[in-house]
Amino acid sequence: MAKLKLSLEKVNKIDNDKFELILDRLLQRTEEGKIEWETTADMNTYLLVLKNSAVSMSYLPDHHCYIFQFRNENGDVIESVNVHSGTTLLQAGKIFGLATEGLQKIENANKFVDSILEQLAA
């Protein structure tokens, strides 16, 4: 039984190279505006909903690290990766910044449109 448990734990671990590739693609697609991060109840967490899975990205300012959680279609966390150093920390910071910036632009645009509607109603 112990062997089976060890092999399952090994299967559930994301290889460093694959995780870096995921971050590269998340950064690229976020920069291109091809993916949209959603807000969550936690102001330091964003969610990317994909076809049969989701990725959540959280920033922990007290620890200066990011946590990426990979979820299945039921929302169960399949893998969680802490990013706290190296180039992956820089990539995570860029992705988080772009997600925040993109959502602020949408919010500002909505406020602008609401302002126009209010002025036209008067």
pLDDT band at 119 (very low <50, low <70, confident <90, very high): confident
Count CA atoms closer than 13 A to 26's CA, side-chain side. 29
User: Does 54 score more than 90 pLDDT?
Assistant: yes
The pLDDT assigned to 9 comes to 34
Q: Domain map of the chain by residue range?
A: 2-121
Query: 5 pLDDT exceeds 50?
Result: no
| Least confident range of 3-7, 24-28, 111-115 | 3-7
pTM for this predicted structure: 0.73
Reference 89, options 63, 66, 69, 60; nearest CA is 66
Q: How far apart are CA 25 and CA 22, in angstroms?
A: 5
Sign of CA dihedral 23, 65, 45, 71: positive
